[in-house]
């Protein structure tokens, strides 16, 4: 029984260390990989679309501007609202 508890604890600790926590990300500065890593529901395709849209149309002035990116809907935006930063001045 002690062995089972030890194995379960080891498994839980291993899995928890593999989980990456989403953090705030500036959609005006981040590359596609960073967007994918830090935003919920954003995979490679949507992350690339955000970067392409930004390069073509300029910086996002508001979070709602992300809705103009193909594949980004209200639900995705709301799920990420707390983690989206907007730096409207290029560095």
Question: Looking at residue 59, which CATH number applies to its domain?
Answer: 1.10.150.280
> Do the domain assignments include residue 32?
yes
In a domain, 33, yes or no: yes
Asked if residue 90 is part of any domain, the answer here is no
Q: Is residue 71 within 8 Å of 46, Cβ to Cβ?
A: yes
Residue 15, domain member (yes or no):
no
Q: What pLDDT, on a 0 to 100 scale, did the predictor assign at position 17?
A: 42
Any domain includes 14 = no
Tell me whether residue 17 is in a domain: no
Domain membership flag for residue 13: no
pLDDT tens for 48-76 read 999 999 999 999 999 999 999 999 999 99
Q: Please state the domain count of the chain.
A: 1
Domain that holds residue 47: 23-85
Question: What are the C-alpha distances in Å from 41 to residues 6, 17, 34, 76?
Answer: 34, 21, 13, 6
Q: What is the pTM of this model?
A: 0.73
> What is the distance between the alpha carbons of residues 8 and 36, in angstroms, rounded to a whole number?
30
């Amino acid at each position: 029984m002690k062995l089972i508890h030890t194995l379960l604890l080891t498994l839980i600790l291993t899995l928890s260390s593999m989980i990456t926590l989403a953090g705030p990300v500036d959609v005006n500065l981040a590359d596609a990989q960073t967007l994918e890593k830090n935003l919920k529901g954003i995979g490679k395709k949507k992350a690339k679309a955000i970067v392409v849209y930004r390069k073509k149309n300029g910086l996002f002035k508001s979070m709602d501007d992300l809705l103009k990116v193909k594949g980004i809907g209200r639900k995705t935006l709301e799920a990420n609202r707390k983690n989206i930063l907007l730096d409207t001045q290029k560095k």
